[in-house]
């Protein structure tokens, strides 16, 4: 299979898998929300804010480092180097994963009582800590499978992990009747911990089988040094970013209380935004997440060979495709916010916040792809620096906006920080590459296209009265938008051919 065909096939496969996992995740969130309510979702979101810091510390940049080092070894046909890179990455993951386990397990009482101000979070954090060494080593192995282009193996494990997580949680919640907030959180995290451990052993077995294809010849030197040179700067930046993010999340309920909300109402508002709305916002990005993860090894190989023309062409195609998709998805969520919010959660509050945040989705998605390209160009430290900056800005703004404006102030903060992050990332990409920006083609025309598509569907479709009708109208709007953009692309391509054949 040619490299381009393999890239397309892997992107399609990973997109399908990621969409499936996001669909299961959103359905799972709906199930959990119905079981424990918005307050319980807020409690679970607080727990995950600390656990995510543990995951960041456990992985410490090893997924990116493994992907880049293995890609570089493949670029020079060093099979021995591939084997050595995988072993060093796994050991790195074990060391940092073990350290993360100790930090979260023994630090859980402090985190629960002092940082989160809720002792119900202590036991769930101790349970989740057990999974951290497995999470780190799985990240290293996944980086290898991404680099070698056999993404289907790690994708298979991810699907199995998600199914195990959901099945375990359903068993604990339904069959054992654990529905109060604390018991439900314990059930959710216990099933998640078990899923992470089982999935590690699955991906490890697949790795052992896959590694048989490589000999020990041509082992490169300095792999450990190169790996650390990539992983450690990313790790340090990630620590700061994750710590700030954890502080940011713990400040939200406290800030809402200062605005006048009681403890349960503050947790409920926080749970609606982070536990219910944000998964919906990021659901369509599953397509771009797959694309982004596969962009890193592609850009890395071109960068290693110094092929500037291919890098610029890849950036232009990637950004155009990303913005067309992102603006379309953002428009669908904005114009159908009431229908989606009520159909999924039966919550007017969820519908309101979905409409408020939806316009920003296009910026979030595009920023993710730009970050992937920057990582391929060895600009990952800058990318992480921008993430740190946006968290720091968020914390400062929270001190003033949350007490003054409540949850609406938090929405303002999200807009400010995401826009700043995207601006800095795009500016850095312009500095280190030489691609051309086409504002009219990339942003204005897709915006007009999605507006016209939705307007046409809503004008003739009326008000949908069932979930099936909502899905049908959304699919119709997406179809019209896709046809519009395809015709626009065909016209643009024809115009380019004419200009090349008959230059003025």
Domain count of the fold of the chain: 1
Please report whether residue 5 resides in a domain. Answer: no
Q: What sign for the dihedral angle of Cα 389, 391, 397, 401?
A: positive
pLDDT band at 177 (very low <50, low <70, confident <90, very high): low
- Does the structure show a pLDDT above 90 at 237? no
Please report whether residue 257 resides in a domain. Answer: no
Q: So what's the pLDDT on residue 355?
A: 92
pLDDT band at 243 (very low <50, low <70, confident <90, very high): confident
Mean pLDDT within 20-38: 74
Q: So what's the pLDDT on residue 202?
A: 94
Please report whether residue 174 resides in a domain. Answer: yes
- Structural domain including 114 reads 42-220
Of the candidates 82, 299, 318, 308, which has an alpha carbon nearest to the alpha carbon of residue 212? 82
Q: So what's the pLDDT on residue 335?
A: 92
- Tens-digit pLDDT profile for residues 84-125: 888 999 999 999 999 999 999 999 999 888 877 778 888 889
Q: In which residue are the tokens 């959710």 written?
A: 188
Q: So what's the pLDDT on residue 326?
A: 92
- Alpha helix positions (H), 260-360: 263-270, 278-282, 286-305, 308-335, 337-345, 348-357
Q: 226-230, 347-351, 407-411, 463-467: which has the minimum mean pLDDT?
A: 463-467
Q: So what's the pLDDT on residue 214?
A: 77
Q: What is the pTM of this model?
A: 0.69
Most confident of 240-249, 371-380, 487-496: 371-380
Q: So what's the pLDDT on residue 19?
A: 74
Q: So what's the pLDDT on residue 501?
A: 45
Encoded tokens for 247: 């502080």
- Alpha helix positions (H), 111-222: 122-129, 132-148, 151-170, 181-210
Q: What is the CA radius of gyration of the chain?
A: 23
Q: So what's the pLDDT on residue 314?
A: 86
More confident call, 352 vs 388: 352
Q: What is the DSSP letter of 213?
A: G
- Tens-digit pLDDT profile for residues 132-170: 999 999 999 998 988 887 877 888 888 888 889 888 888
Report the share of the chain in percent with pLDDT over 70: 89
End-to-end CA distance of the chain: 40
CB neighbour burial string for 269-282, b if at least 16 within 10 angstroms, e if fewer? bbbbbbbbbbbbbb
Q: So what's the pLDDT on residue 503?
A: 44
pLDDT band at 2 (very low <50, low <70, confident <90, very high): low
Q: So what's the pLDDT on residue 55?
A: 92
Encoded tokens for 249: 């999340």
416, exposed or middle or buried, with CB in 10 Å at 0-12, 13-18, 19+? middle
105, HSE (Cβ side, Cα atoms, 13 Å): 13
Q: So what's the pLDDT on residue 179?
A: 59
> Torsions phi, psi of 499, nearest 5?
-65, -35
Mean pLDDT within 408-432: 90
Please report whether residue 157 resides in a domain. Answer: yes
pLDDT band at 176 (very low <50, low <70, confident <90, very high): low
- Does the structure show a pLDDT above 70 at 7? no
More confident call, 478 vs 218: 478
Please report whether residue 96 resides in a domain. Answer: yes
- Does the structure show a pLDDT above 80 at 453? yes
Please report whether residue 393 resides in a domain. Answer: no
Please report whether residue 154 resides in a domain. Answer: yes
Mean pLDDT within 196-212: 92
Q: So what's the pLDDT on residue 72?
A: 82
pLDDT band at 490 (very low <50, low <70, confident <90, very high): low
Of the candidates 321, 330, 333, which has an alpha carbon nearest to the alpha carbon of residue 288? 321
Encoded tokens for 13: 């496969």
Please report whether residue 252 resides in a domain. Answer: no
Mean pLDDT within 463-491: 84
Q: 3-17, 191-205, 270-284, 295-309: which has the minimum mean pLDDT?
A: 3-17
Are 397 and 413 contacting, i.e. CB atoms less than 8 angstroms apart? yes
- pLDDT, mean over the chain: 82
Q: So what's the pLDDT on residue 498?
A: 41
Q: So what's the pLDDT on residue 499?
A: 42
């Amino acid at each position: 299979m040619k490299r381009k065909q393999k890239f397309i096939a892997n992107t399609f496969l990973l997109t399908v898998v990621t969409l499936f996992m996001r669909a299961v995740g959103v359905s799972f969130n709906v199930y959990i929300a119905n079981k424990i309510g918005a307050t319980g979702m807020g409690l679970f979101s607080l727990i995950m804010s600390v656990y995510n810091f543990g995951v960041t510390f456990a992985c410490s940049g090893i997924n990116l480092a493994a992907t880049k080092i293995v890609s570089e070894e493949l670029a020079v046909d060093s099979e021995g180097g591939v084997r050595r890179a995988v072993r060093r990455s796994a050991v790195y993951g074990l060391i940092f994963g073990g350290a993360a386990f100790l930090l979260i397990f023994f630090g859980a009482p402090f985190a629960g009582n002092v940082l989160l101000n809720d002792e119900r979070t202590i036991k769930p954090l101790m349970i989740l800590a057990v999974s951290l060494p497995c999470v780190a080593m799985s990240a290293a192995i996944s980086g290898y499978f991404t680099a070698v282009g056999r993404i289907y193996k790690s994708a298979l494990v991810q699907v199995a992990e998600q199914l195990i997580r959901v099945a375990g949680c359903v068993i604990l919640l339904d069959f054992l009747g654990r529905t109060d907030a604390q018991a439900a959180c314990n059930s959710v995290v216990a099933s998640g911990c078990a899923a992470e451990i089982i999935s590690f052993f699955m991906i490890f077995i697949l790795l052992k089988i896959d590694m048989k294809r490589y000999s020990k010849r041509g082992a490169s030197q300095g792999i450990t040094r190169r790996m650390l040179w990539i992983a450690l700067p990313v790790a340090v930046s990630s620590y700061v970013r994750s710590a700030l993010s954890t502080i940011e999340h713990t400040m939200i309920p406290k800030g809402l209380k200062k605005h006048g909300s009681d403890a349960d109402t503050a947790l409920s508002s926080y749970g609606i935004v982070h536990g219910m709305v944000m998964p919906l916002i990021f659901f369509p990005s599953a397509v771009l997440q797959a694309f982004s993860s596969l962009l890193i090894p592609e850009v890395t190989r071109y960068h290693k060979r110094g092929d500037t023309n291919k890098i610029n062409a890849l950036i232009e195609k990637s950004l155009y495709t990303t913005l067309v998709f992102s603006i379309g998805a953002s428009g669908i969520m904005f114009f159908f916010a009431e229908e989606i919010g009520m159909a999924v959660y039966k919550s007017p509050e969820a519908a309101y916040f979905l409409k408020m945040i939806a316009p920003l989705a296009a910026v979030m998605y595009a920023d993710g792809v730009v970050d992937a390209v920057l990582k391929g160009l060895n600009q990952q430290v800058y990318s992480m620096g921008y993430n740190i900056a946006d968290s720091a800005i968020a914390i400062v703004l929270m001190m003033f906006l949350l007490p003054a404006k409540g949850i609406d102030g938090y929405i303002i903060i999200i807009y400010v920080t995401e826009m700043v992050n995207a601006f800095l990332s795009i500016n850095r990409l312009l500095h280190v590459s030489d691609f051309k920006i086409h504002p009219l083609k990339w942003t204005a025309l897709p915006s007009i296209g999605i507006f016209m598509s939705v307007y046409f569907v809503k004008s003739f479709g009326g008000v949908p009265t069932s979930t099936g009708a909502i899905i049908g109208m959304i699919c119709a709007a997406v179809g019209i938008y896709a046809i519009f953009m395809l015709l626009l692309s065909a016209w643009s391509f024809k115009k380019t051919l004419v200009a090349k054949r008959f230059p003025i």
